[in-house]
Amino acid sequence: MNLIPDLELSMVALHIRDLLFAFILALPIGWDREKNERTAGLRTFPLVAVAACGYMLVGLEVLSSTDAESRVMEGIITGIGFIGGGAILKNVVKDEGFVSGTATAASLWLTGAIGISVATGLLEIAVVLSVLTFFTLRLLTPAKVLVGNSEHKTSESENAPNETMKNKQHQTSNTDA
């Protein structure tokens, strides 16, 4: 009885390459979100890209029709949208009714597209998505401040959750005294 499955080492190497490529392309996006203390960051974004890539690789290997493969892709897209929705909902509770986290949610969704692009061999699309997402987050966030967008003002509380908590504690202690 053979307990070790027969592995095709060339396929293992290709899959490792794809998964690592998805991981690396998601790192700058995760770094940006982590640096700005968002709800998802350095761990979440690479994990989403690797998971999307992994599920798509399995779908491509196991399924024999493009219709079935497209259903796998559809499931990945829906699942990542659900994760992004969680990032928004978390902030709604934390910020007492202010909607924030939409850029993080959209970035998570795009990160899934990076993983799918790598898995399907569309590396040029994966690279462009990674670069565009990173630069959108880095360059357009300061532009929002210049424009005076009220949405950015609500997301500023994401950068200082401890200050919000300190203010609430201070208000509570003043009413108790």
The DSSP code sequence of 80-120 is HHHHHHHHHHHHHHHTTT----HHHHHHHHHHHHHHHHHHT
* Alpha carbons 19 and 127: distance in angstroms, whole number: 14
The overall longest dimension of the chain from CA atoms, in Å, is: 76
The letter for the amino acid at 74 is: E
Cα distances (Å, whole numbers) of residue 176 to 164, 166, 170: 19, 15, 10
CA angle 167, 159, 104 (to 5 degrees): 135
At 98 the pLDDT is 67
Tokens of 53: 């890539």
Per-residue pLDDT in tens (0 to 9) along the chain, 177 residues: 566 677 888 888 999 999 999 999 999 999 988 887 777 888 989 999 999 999 999 999 888 888 888 889 889 998 888 888 877 765 555 556 667 778 888 999 999 999 999 999 999 999 999 999 999 988 887 887 788 754 544 444 444 444 444 444 444 444 444
Contact 53, 19 (CB under 8 A): yes
At 164 the pLDDT is 44
